[in-house]
Amino acid sequence: MSKSRYIDTHCHLFEREFESDIDDVVKKIESAGVEYVLVANTGYDSLIPLLNFEKKYPHICRSLIGIHPDNVDKDYKSQIKFIEDNLVNHNFIGIGEIGLDYYEATQDHEIQQKFLIEELLIARESHLPVSVHIRDAFDDALAVLEKCQNGNLSGVIHCFSGNAEQARRCLDLGFSLGVGGIVTFKKSTLPEVLKSVPLEKIVIETDSPCLAPVPFRGKRNDSSFLPLIVDKLAEIYECSHEEVADVTTWNAKNIFKLK
Ligand SMILES: [Zn+2]
């Protein structure tokens, strides 16, 4: 019987939390059946650790470049240039992570929105999919995405945790939903929401080192926990673990053009 394969569509395995034992973590991830981990950049400082991680594990790692909304500068023009310059110099498979975060709100909402628009325009022009972070900013983020969608934008609303109506709006825009550890949390409303979302629109992710699924909630997360998310999805969609793994892997390969 063939073992299931998984793709972690959004994680940060280059973070300091993994510094001391990353070789062991990658071994564990590989033996869990993970085919690819897509690592998302978050700021200026994370790019070198990200590229080092990719260089060390080229068989399993693919990278996205973007700036997390928590790290947006008032003068975001130089951050746009940072993304554009690095896109020329390196083979990134997507733009991320980008988005709006009003929960932390380290930056003005309006500046976050303007920056997001510019990042989406880069994605459009370079024909790259996006990985979008939305926290406490759903309506504004959707308004920006709707404004920028000209048929050339595609990608994932990462770590989706909205309601059924918000899910529908994301799908209408042509986006897929990234589902991670939150779906396994006891009080999560996501299992109910997902009943209105076809499995063909779902990809899986960890957002590691954060958001570990039950029974590891609160612990350091890594991509070897993906099967726990797949177990939960198999329960929600009333199908086999293998079917969820196959469909979500196919979806991820299709969105991020992975071989
Ligand atoms: Zn993230």
Distance 221 CA to ligand 1 centre (A): 12
Distance 210 CA to ligand 1 centre (A): 8
Distance 134 CA to ligand 1 centre (A): 10
Mean per-residue pLDDT over the chain, rounded: 96
- Which strands make up the sheet holding 155-157, listed edge to edge? 6-11, 34-40, 61-65, 94-101, 130-135, 155-157, 175-179, 202-204
Distance 161 CA to ligand 1 centre (A): 14
Distance 223 CA to ligand 1 centre (A): 13
Beta strands in the chain (DSSP E): 6-11, 34-40, 61-65, 94-101, 130-135, 155-157, 175-179, 202-204
pLDDT of residue 39: 98
SS3 content of the chain, % helix, strand, coil (to 5): 45, 15, 35
Distance 70 CA to ligand 1 centre (A): 11
pLDDT in tens, 120-179: 999 999 999 999 999 999 999 999 999 999 999 999 999 999 999 999 999 999 999 999
Lowest mean pLDDT among 13-22, 96-105, 140-149: 96-105
Distance 1 CA to ligand 1 centre (A): 34
- Distance from C-alpha of 194 to C-alpha of 170, rounded to nearest angstrom: 13
* Percent over 90 (pLDDT), the chain: 96
Distance 135 CA to ligand 1 centre (A): 11
Domains of the chain, residue spans: 6-256
- Tell me the CATH class for 6-256: alpha beta
Distance 8 CA to ligand 1 centre (A): 11
**With 80 as the cut, is the pLDDT of residue 37 above it?**
yes
**With 60 as the cut, is the pLDDT of residue 2 above it?**
no
Distance 120 CA to ligand 1 centre (A): 17
Distance 2 CA to ligand 1 centre (A): 31
Distance 12 CA to ligand 1 centre (A): 7
**With 90 as the cut, is the pLDDT of residue 93 above it?**
yes
- Amino acid in position 167: A
42 and 68 Cβ atoms separated by less than 8 Å? yes
Full-prediction pTM beyond 0.75? yes
**With 50 as the cut, is the pLDDT of residue 75 above it?**
yes
pLDDT of residue 40: 98
Cα–Cα–Cα angle for 57, 27, 160, rounded to 5 degrees: 75
The Cβ of residue 171 has, within 10 Å, a number of other Cβ atoms equal to 16
**With 50 as the cut, is the pLDDT of residue 1 above it?**
no
Q: Label the pairing between strands 155-157 and 175-179.
A: parallel
- List, in order, residues 6 or more apart from 207 with CB less than 8 Å away: 10, 11, 12, 158, 159, 180, 181, 221
**CA–CA distance from 15 to each of 45, 187, 221, 232 (Å)?**
11, 28, 11, 27
pLDDT of residue 3: 81
Q: For residue 17, with 0-12 CB atoms within 10 Å meaning exposed, 13-18 middle and 19 or more buried, which class applies?
A: middle
Query: Dihedrals φ, ψ of 11, to 5°?
Result: -155, 170
- Distance from C-alpha of 181 to C-alpha of 227, rounded to nearest angstrom: 11
Residue by residue, DSSP assigns 189-202 as: SHHHHHTTS-GGGE
pLDDT confidence bin for 239, thresholds 50/70/90: very high
Distance 98 CA to ligand 1 centre (A): 9
Distance 96 CA to ligand 1 centre (A): 8
